[in-house]
Structure 1
Amino acid sequence: MSLSVGILTFNSERYLKEVLESVKSIADEIVILDSGSKDRTIEIAKSFGAKVFFRKFDNFVSQKNYLLSLCKKEWVLFIDDDEVVGNELKAEIERVKKEGSFDGYYVNVLTNYLGRWIKYAWYPDWHLRLAKREKCKWIGDLVHESLKVDGKLGYLKGNLLHYSYPSISHHLKKIDLYTSLYAEGVYRRGKKFSYMKLFLSPLGAFLRRYIFKKGFLDGFEGFVLSVMSSYYTFLKYLKLWEKEKNEKTFHSR
């Protein structure tokens, strides 16, 4: 089995060296799809022998499907530009390369939030990331995309180490982007704003992370991310309300 590692990048120099270092021993090719980086992203990628391509970003589904089309090996491992393949997971992927009996595999993502590994509120967090190239495609809305695999699925041991939130400001920027994409996506599908969801869903999001997933065991960081999850939920519905309001104002002129 041969393996492509596919990564989307945009100003990704912060962690990209560590990310590429973690996959260079298992990848038969590394494929980078960049959307206009202005930092050292391209330089770092080329230093690892990666194949680098450019496409203007529109949404995650189409961007990742284009990335998939650029990968040429039998299998594809999709990782983000801030995800490091842990040693146990790396060994599992090596095993799959020799004797894999499934068409796709879930991996467990362990997230580092503000310098702390989150072992409850966001864990376990299974994502389908490794698949046979000809049997997979990305589906979903403008955000919250998922990999669909036509065939049997398995699970891999080990963790994909996600260095996603180094600061509160970074988290807020992601929330702003993802909530805008969410509102645009559901608005296009005709989903209507609901005051009940605006008021109740944020509370549910907080309780789910902090109480039911035992985020309180993640310390103060667990409390913060639970509050931020609640804020994310509130903001995505608020932006849907804003889109409906702006559309009504436009047509009433």
Structure 2
Amino acid sequence: MNLSVGILTFNSEKRIERVLESVKNFADEIVVVDSGSRDSTLDVLKRYNVKLFERKFDNFVNQKNFLLSKCSCDWVLFLDDDEVVSEELSKNIQKLKSEGTEFSGFFVNRLTNYLGRWIRHAWYPDWQLRLAKREKCKWMGNGVHETLKVKGKVGYLKGDLLHYSYDSLSQHLRKIDLYTTLYAEGAYKRGKRFSTFKLITSPVGSFLRRYFLKRGFLDGFEGFIVSVMASYYSFLKYLKLWEIEKLESSRRS
């Protein structure tokens, strides 16, 4: 089987080279869709002879389906610009390429590095469906939470996908601000409406799930931060939905 590696980039100069190095031993082609990087990302990409395309970002579903359409191999491994294939996962992908498989897709387990610490509880295990037959898969979902749908049987590959997420709290907060805005706008368009009950209970549930049920307390203070941020994300997305409803109501009156 031959394999495309598909990657989305945007101002990724500090991260992308490590990603490219981790896949060069098994990728038959590397396809990158850039969203208008203003740093030296494109210069780095050109050194690796990737197939480079540019597309203005609208949402993750459309962006990733565009990426899929530009891949030409039988299989595609989808990566973000901060995800590195571990040595163990790389070996298992190479083994899969040589032996073939009855499956149409595979989950990989993502291990996240947050503020310099590997989060082995609050965000782990984190199985992501990322490897699939090109003609058997499609990205679906809303503007924030996209999901790869695969027709056929799916399996699980051993070896972690190393996710180097946030270097600073400010970076994490900016991402939360972006994602909650996308969520609220998409939810309103789909007819979802604000609920005070969810505004109160969802943040509490998010914290309890991360910190206690998934044992985030074993991840040290970083685990506590992760759990608080999850709660804040949940609170903010419903609060922004309330704000949109209020603005729309004032426009109609």
User: Is this a same-fold pair by TM over 0.5?
Assistant: yes
The whole-number CA distance in structure 2 between the counterparts of 1:185 and 1:105 is 29
**Deviation digits for residues 94-150 of structure 1 (CA, Å, limit 9, x no counterpart):** 111122221000000000000000000000000100000000000000111000000
SS class of match (2:165): strand
Per-residue displacement from partner, 1:151-203 (whole Å, max 9, x unpaired)? 11000001000001111011001101110111111111101110000011001
Alignment partner of 1:229 is 2:230: yes
- CA distance in 1 between counterparts of 2:98 and 2:137 reads 20
Q: Matched residue of 2:69: which SS?
A: helix
- The answer as to 2:154 corresponding to 1:153 is yes
For 1:30-41, what aligned pairs fall within 5 Å after superposition? Answer: 30-41=30-41
Q: Distance in 2 between matches of 1:248 and 1:95?
A: 58
User: How much has 1:21 moved relative to structure 2?
Assistant: 0.2
Letter aligned with residue 174 of structure 1: K
Inter-partner Cα distance in structure 2 for 1:87 and 1:80: 17
Distance in 2, Cα, partners of 1:182 & 1:117: 27
CA positional deviation for 1:14: 1.3
Residues in 2 aligned to 1:251 and 1:54: alpha-carbon distance in whole angstroms: 39
User: Which residue number in structure 1 is paired with residue 123 of structure 2?
Assistant: 122
How large is the Cα RMSD of the aligned pairs? 0.6
**How far apart are the structure 2 equivalents of 1:60 and 1:116?**
27
Deviation at 1:242, TM superposition (A): 0.6
Superposed CA deviations along residues 196-229 of structure 1, whole A, max 9, x for unmatched, are: 0001100100000000000000000000110000
Matches of 2:123 and 2:105 in 1, distance apart?
A: 23
- The answer as to 2:88 corresponding to 1:88 is yes
Give, in whole Å, the separation in 2 of the partners of 1:211 and 1:14.
34
TM-score, normalised to structure 1, is 0.99
The number of aligned residues is: 252
Tell me, in whole angstroms, the C-alpha distance in 1 between the residues paired with 2:228 and 2:92. 35
Determine the structure 2 residue equivalent to 1:2.
2
Moved more, 28-37 or 98-107: 98-107
- The aligned counterpart of 1:113 is 114
Identity across the alignment (%): 68
Query: Could you tell me which residue of structure 2 aligns to residue 27 of structure 1?
Result: 27
Letter in 1 for 2:204: L
Please tell me whether residue 196 in structure 1 is matched to residue 189 in structure 2. no
Aligned residue for 1:96, secondary structure, equals helix
Unaligned regions of 5+ residues in structure 1, if any?
Answer: none
1:18 Cα offset (Å):
0.4
Equivalent-residue separation in structure 2 for 1:219 and 1:194 (angstroms): 33
Aligned position for 2:48: 48
> Secondary structure at 1:56's aligned position in 2?
coil
* TM-score, L = length of structure 2: 0.99
1:216 is aligned with what amino acid? F
Which residue of 1 is the match for residue 168 of structure 2? 167
- 3-state SS in 2 of match to 1:165: coil
Q: Distance in 1 between matches of 2:208 and 2:238?
A: 18
